[in-house]
Structure 1
Amino acid sequence: MIKYIVIIITILVLIFLIHSIIPTYYNKIFNTKVKKQTQSPGTIMLTFDDGPDKRYIFSLLEVLDRYGIKAIFFMVAENMNNNEDVVRLILEKGHKIGLHSWQHKNAMLYSYFYTKKDFENSYKIIRKFQKEKILYRPPWGHSNIFTNYFARKYNMDLIFWNVMAEDWSQNETVETISKKLLDRVKEHSIICLHDAGENSGGSVGAPERTINALDITIPKLQELGYSFIIDEVNY
């Protein structure tokens, strides 16, 4: 009996390894088609995941406007669908949007059928706002064996990050977020922050701390000579 249990557990582990672990780390480490840093000298990129969230987005846009910064917003498609006016405002201000899945679920645990539904529904929603090639960032950077197939099918480019500041955590403050950004950002950084709170797994009020930290940090990064870009265009 124990022998059969061990065999079953081994099979399940192998399935999870093939379905989830290998695709995730292939994309994170080895897949050269996944964008993980900017290319132009002296450039960095500012990106936000999980929104849009009307509680925070207007304050965030004000800070970005104040310093003349353009950013990329990776949106949960359901949030996008429920906040079409916000999405259009973000685009009108010259920012770029991308997809961050349909419902912000972990792709490691997706079946084929849910993965298919995730991409189909996300694609339908974002096409209302954007016709060109779509940027896609999976939640937590997690993939499964079907992710790359559906990304190619819907003409999506995967883009990850190389700097985080754990800004979703209740343990972080304005000061610690700012310090982490200043310590970690360097040439070619793609910064991943979050503009929605508990709705997507962050702590209550976390985006407010992020916004205040950016108000402190952006001018310091500009003083260091970094250019904020989207699509390798300087701002």
Structure 2
Amino acid sequence: MNSVIIALVILIGLSYAVIPTCYYRFFDKKIIKTMDKKDSIMLTFDDGPDERYTNTLLDLLKKNDVKASFFLVADKAKKNPNIVNRMIEEGHKIALHSYSHQNALFTGYWSVKRDFENSMKIMKENNWKVNYYRPPWGDINIFTLLFAKKNGLMPMLWSVMAEDWSRFSTVETIEKKLLKRVKEGSIICLHDSNGAEKAPERTIQALRTVLPILKEKYKFITLEDMT
């Protein structure tokens, strides 16, 4: 009997989130993962804004005249409206990365519904327009895309990561991965919050080297250029 219950729980988990996530990541052609833009790349950041790191990152982007797209955690955005407004004022674009960065595997229908409702309420109260959504960890469940569509949000993933969130990543390994993996049409996913201790510091430091190199080869575009 116990083995039957365990098998049933596993089956439910697979059907609820694992299989939808696998399909979403690898087979769903409607999900944006790369761009068909000649000589262009997109730089995106997840998990912020973070008062410890995001302003320093914005300083660096301004110095290099690079525009990026920020997938915001709505609760953090609510606590740091000045940073979000600075992003917009300096020509960066914003999108949604959930309300509190919960994994879809552990959220039910009502949690998903509240997550989107609370997120969009914050965006509307601050007059922040968002058209794109990236789920935390790139994971979804059977309700995620339903509520994204209901709120007029287009799902977007990425084609390049540098594991900048990992405690095993150094400034040098982040630099090497970016320079090796980025190519025409890449959507780069980095992080300005969360991850291992001081991980965003290493990301910012790596970008000090990488941005000037990538600028010589590619044009940086934002979410606005996708429409």
Identity %: 50
Q: Structure 1 residues 125, 40: CA separation in 2 closer, same or farther (over 3 Å shift)?
A: same
CA RMSD of aligned residues (A): 1.5
Structure 1 unpaired stretches of 5+: none
Q: How many correspondences in the alignment?
A: 226
Q: Please name the residue that 1:222 is paired with.
A: 215
Taking structure 1 as the reference length, the TM-score comes to 0.92
**Which SS does the other structure have where 1:16 is aligned?**
helix
Task: Name which of 165, 169, 182 aligns with 1:168.
Answer: 165
Q: In structure 1, what is the Cα distance between the partners aligned to 2:18 and 2:197?
A: 30
**Which SS does the other structure have where 2:125 is aligned?**
coil
**Which SS does the other structure have where 2:166 is aligned?**
coil
Q: In structure 1, what is the Cα distance between the partners aligned to 2:78 and 2:185?
A: 32
8 Å contact from structure 2 (residues 191, 203) kept in 1 = yes
Shift of 1:5: 1.4
The amino acid of 2:202's aligned partner reads R
8 Å contact from structure 2 (residues 46, 97) kept in 1 = yes
Task: Name which of 180, 191, 206 aligns with 2:199.
Answer: 206
The amino acid of 2:18's aligned partner reads I
Q: In structure 2, what is the Cα distance between the partners aligned to 1:17 and 1:26?
A: 12
The amino acid of 1:207's aligned partner reads P
**1:66 correspondence with 2:74:** no
Shift of 1:30: 1.6
Q: In structure 1, what is the Cα distance between the partners aligned to 2:77 and 2:223?
A: 21
**Which SS does the other structure have where 2:70 is aligned?**
strand
Task: Name which of 160, 185, 189 aligns with 1:188.
Answer: 185
Q: Please name the residue that 1:54 is paired with.
A: 51
8 Å contact from structure 1 (residues 40, 232) kept in 2 = no
Task: Name which of 120, 133, 150 aligns with 1:123.
Answer: 120
**1:178 correspondence with 2:178:** no
Taking structure 2 as the reference length, the TM-score comes to 0.95
Structure 2 unpaired stretches of 5+: none
